């Protein structure tokens, strides 16, 4: 059983016995010296095969047009938008961990922030494909940007889809900068520690001559905190804008004022599920149990529980307001979700997002690693279903019964979706191999901090009760 919480301070976020040198060596060794494990080649090959599938699906789509998908006239938004919202949502946990938890001075973020930020970037990269590809004429995507042109035309500023361009563009740029700024001191570490001339040059180039000077650190920290303070409202706004894609519409089931906060909560919920899905295998195969401790997993489970409850509340309020509105279309939309042709998806979603996460109330479940992995995968599926329900069930039966239809995804919908999963994990595989998956300098800071705490509480922690 892991150690219980100390009376004055929380359980350590790093296993005892580490020094500046050992944390540095341990994390940089994964990139620099340790032999690439066989599973990496197997996994990376598999994921690159899926990237090929993605490229094939995209090429065929560009050749033949969006008609190869299952979208039709009532349901114009199919997998493309479902997957867009799903991927963007996954990205949000990374920013939450790196920015919001930094502002709240949660030191347990340190060992998970780097790969959570990487996860954000790769998820946004996957998400960014869909809005472009689902355009009927993707080659004209640049018409969404404001630039002086010979046609004298501007984007239509009142459309949430134009807001999306700005929101996702800003989000991708800011996340990339935040991630890169966080990497610079670690790139300098890799530059100083690598033995290969080529690696020294590449890491040295990327580190831009970072030399750990105290005056640089001072400005660096200021910049890092300011970025965190800017990323926090950004992350809330991005998924709110995504929520407005729906909420600004008139469709029953979409036109709901609760969407912006409820989408943000859902994004954090699904994002933490993905962080957990990645963290558990990562700590195991690289032997990082000392850095990504049970306390991290436990806290992530608690965040998932909290946001999961907000999502469950959102479901409840949607049903309540549909009934309370006295609007026959709203009420029919709700009944149709529960009992209509897509009812199995609805009930699976309720099971995966509302019922299963309640297991996190139990401390035993929160400390059981395989259970955490299984539940987080279930939540990922459940949150995908949530977007499916919102997009499809609202559209396929709305105001005019003559315009009712069904949406059945084709194999090209699936190929594109599975392909982006491949792209996501392929990038993640490259990332863990080429860059430090855990922030090295922040771990050194943590070591310094735990030493200071050690002086403050000279009594040994082991054996102390609750």
Partner 1 sequence: MAEFEDGEALLRAARAAREQGYRRMEAYTPFPVEGLPEVLSVRGRRLPLIVLGGGLVGGATGLLLQWYAAAVNYPFNVGGRPHASWPAFIPVTFELTILVAALSAVLGMFALNGLPQPYHPVFNVAEFSAASRDRFFLCIEATDPRFDLQETRAFLETLGARGVFEVEP
Binding site for partner 1 (CB under 8 A): 19-21, 24-25, 146, 152-158, 160, 162-163, 166-167, 169-170, 173-174, 177-178, 181, 185, 188-189, 191-193, 204-205, 208-223, 226-227, 230-231, 233-234, 237, 241, 244, 441-442, 444-445, 448
CA atoms within 13 A on the CB side of 446: 27
Q: How far apart are the first and last CA of the chain?
A: 13
Q: Which is nearer to partner 1, 215 or 328 (CB)?
A: 215
Closer to partner 1 at the Cβ: 350 or 446?
446
Q: Are 342 and 387 in contact (CB under 8 A)?
A: no
The least CB distance from residue 24 to partner 1, in Å, is: 5
Q: Kindly report the length of the chain.
A: 466
336: its two tokens:
């149709």
Q: How far is the CB of 207 from partner 1 (least distance, A)?
A: 9
The DSSP letter of residue 228 is H
Which tokens sit at 431?
């990332």
Helix (H) or strand (E) holding 374: helix 369-388
| Rounded CA separation 173/230 (Å) | 12
Give the nearest distance from C-beta 317 to partner 1 in angstroms: 23
Closest approach of partner 1 to the CB of residue 405, in Å: 25
Cα dihedral sign, 85-369-427-71: negative
The helix (H) or strand (E) run that includes residue 335 is: helix 328-339
Closest contact distance (angstroms) between CB of 406 and partner 1 is: 29
Compute the distance between CA of residue 198 and CA of residue 23 in angstroms, rounded to an integer.
24
Nearer to partner 1, 107 or 192 (CB): 192
What is the rounded CA–CA span in Å between residue 288 and residue 280?
A: 10
Nearer to partner 1, 59 or 223 (CB): 223
Cβ closest to partner 1, residue 125 vs residue 162 = 162
For the CB of residue 435, give the shortest distance to partner 1 in the complex, in Å.
15
Radius of gyration from C-alpha coordinates of the chain: 24
| CB closer to partner 1 out of 118 and 278 | 118
**Smallest distance from partner 1 to CB 451, Å:** 8
CA dist 255 → 244, 300, 329, 362 (Å): 9, 32, 11, 36
Nearer to partner 1, 64 or 211 (CB): 211
């Amino acid at each position: 059983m892991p150690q219980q919480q100390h009376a004055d301070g929380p359980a350590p976020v790093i296993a005892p016995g580490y020094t500046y040198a050992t944390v540095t060596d341990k994390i940089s060794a994964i990139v620099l010296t340790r032999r690439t494990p066989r599973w990496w080649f197997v996994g990376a090959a598999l994921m690159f095969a899926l990237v090929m599938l993605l490229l094939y699906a995209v090429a065929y789509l560009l050749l033949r047009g969006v008609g190869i998908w299952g979208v039709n006239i009532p349901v114009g938004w199919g997998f493309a938008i479902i997957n867009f919202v799903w991927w963007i949502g996954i990205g949000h946990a990374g920013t939450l961990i790196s920015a919001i938890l930094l502002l709240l001075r949660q030191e347990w973020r340190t060992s998970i922030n780097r790969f959570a930020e990487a996860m954000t970037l790769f998820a946004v990269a996957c998400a960014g494909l869909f809005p472009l590809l689902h355009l009927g004429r993707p080659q004209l995507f640049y018409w969404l940007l404001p630039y002086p042109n010979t046609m004298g035309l501007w984007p239509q500023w009142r459309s949430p889809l134009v807001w999306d361009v700005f929101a996702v563009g800003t989000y991708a740029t800011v996340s990339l900068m935040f991630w890169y700024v966080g990497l610079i001191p670690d790139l300098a570490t890799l530059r100083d520690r690598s033995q290969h001339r080529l690696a020294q040059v590449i890491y040295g180039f990327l580190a831009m001559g970072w030399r750990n000077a105290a005056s640089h650190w001072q400005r660096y920290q200021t910049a890092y905190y300011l970025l965190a303070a800017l990323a926090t409202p950004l992350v809330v706004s991005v998924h709110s804008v995504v929520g407005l894609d729906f909420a600004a519409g008139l469709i029953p089931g979409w036109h709901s004022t609760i969407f912006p906060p409820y989408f943000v909560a859902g994004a954090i919920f699904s994002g933490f599920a993905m962080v957990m899905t990645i963290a558990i295998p990562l700590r195991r195969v690289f032997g990082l149990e000392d850095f990504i401790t049970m306390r991290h997993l436990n806290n992530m489970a608690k965040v998932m529980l909290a946001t999961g409850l907000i999502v469950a509340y959102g479901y409840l309020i949607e049903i309540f307001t549909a009934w309370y509105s006295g609007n026959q279309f709203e009420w029919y939309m709700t009944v149709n979700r529960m009992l209509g042709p897509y009812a199995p998806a609805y009930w699976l979603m309720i099971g995966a997002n509302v019922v299963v996460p309640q297991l996190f109330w139990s401390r035993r479940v929160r400390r059981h690693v395989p259970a955490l992995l299984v539940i987080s995968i279930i939540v990922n599926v459940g949150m995908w279903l949530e977007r499916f329900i919102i997009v499809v069930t609202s559209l396929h039966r709305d105001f005019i019964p003559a315009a009712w239809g069904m949406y059945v995804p084709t194999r090209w919908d699936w190929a594109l979706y599975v392909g982006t999963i491949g792209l996501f994990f392929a990038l993640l595989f490259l990332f863990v191999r080429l860059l430090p998956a855990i922030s090295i300098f922040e771990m050194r800071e943590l070591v310094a901090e735990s030493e200071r705490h050690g002086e403050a509480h000279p009594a040994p922690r082991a054996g102390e009760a609750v």
